[in-house]
Amino acid sequence: DSLDDFESKIEVFKKKNKPAVENTNKEARRVAFDVPDDVDEEVGLSPTSHGDDDITSKKEAKSKKDEETKNGAEASWWKEKLTKPRLICGSVTITVLIILFSSIGATVSNRNRSLPTSQPTVPPSRLMANWVQVEGDLKGEMPGDEAGFSISASENGFTVVVGGRRNGNTSDGTENRGAAQVFRFDAATGFYKSIWIYHGEAKGDQCGFSVAMSEDGRRIAVGCPGSDTYGKNSGKVRLFMEEEMSNTWVMVSEFYGEGSGDLFGAAVSLSPEGTWLAVGAPYYTRNEVKRSGSAYAYREVSESVWQQSGNPMRG
């Protein structure tokens, strides 16, 4: 036979066996999805398509209350089945689509029937908000300061602390002492201006390696991991507070590393109220486990009185 004759025979076979094939497919779907006999595919969220006229005639044949109850139960049943991964062609694909569209708050549709998902958590337009750079002299004091190595801001953004770990110079033996400078936004001029600066005490302290600020912008923690108070590079952290009446900054407490090489103060963090402080010492060595690291938590128990909270958190 020619190819044309072969194709003609196939078409004839399809026409003769179409009803049987459709019935077989419908039964296969019921077996695959464990569809109960009393669930009507045409009313529920069926993976097959049906005309709107058929659905309308079914609704007219029942009371509104019964229809809503049946549709709700069957829709719930189909939603559960369609969202369960199965080793059946199509089931896993539907599951992936539901998860994907849920993440953007879309609607999964099936022939004029919808399965609404949750709304987007953040509207895309908000992610594209305009940002404008605010002018100000937020710079280091001298070349090589590395100002901006660390930075932290108040909740409203009006006060900013900038760490410059390399501040200092070789001419007076203060190289790498470090510094932390506080800037505040001046609404009258529309610029940030420097209101206070702290310099490290000794060569190599690298104060400003890390900085943290409370929400109100009146407390800052400055990490100086190169401090040699309890051994070379044992590290320290100084906590400062702005006095409300005089607007001057004073040191309220100081914290130290346990031993040489700990780099205590390499990371610092303040709670929103500025009453809790966390400090990291990444090079702390425990039981000969080199640089296993450690973290410490401190809290203010009374004005200007701080104490360690619990045991250090060892690596």
Domain boundaries, the chain: 34-116, 147-314
Confidence band (pLDDT; 50, 70, 90) for 25? low
Q: Please give the average per-residue pLDDT across 296-311, as a whole number.
A: 92
From CA 222, how far away is CA 266, in angstroms rounded?
9
Q: What is the DSSP letter of 170?
A: G
Q: According to CATH, what is the number of the domain 147-314? A: 2.130.10.130
The better pLDDT of the pair 130, 192 is held by: 192
Of 132, 138, 33, the closest CA to residue 85 belongs to 33
Residue given tokens 């001298």 in the structure block: 142
Q: Which two tokens stand for residue 275?
A: 């009453």
Q: Which helix (H) or strand (E) holds 278?
A: strand 276-281
> Which tens digits make up the pLDDT trace of 124-170?
445 546 777 877 778 888 889 999 999 999 999 999 999 999 999 88
Q: Which two tokens stand for residue 281?
A: 């010492």
Q: What is the mean pLDDT of the chain?
A: 74
Q: Which helix (H) or strand (E) holds 60?
A: helix 52-60
Angle between helices 91-104 and 64-82 (to 10 degrees): 100
Confidence band (pLDDT; 50, 70, 90) for 253? very high
> Which tens digits make up the pLDDT trace of 55-109?
444 445 455 555 555 555 555 544 454 444 443 333 232 233 323 333 334 433 3
pTM equals 0.60
DSSP codes, 89-128: TTHHHHHHHHHHHHHHT-EEEETTEEEE-PPPSS-HHHHT
pLDDT of amino acid 69: 53
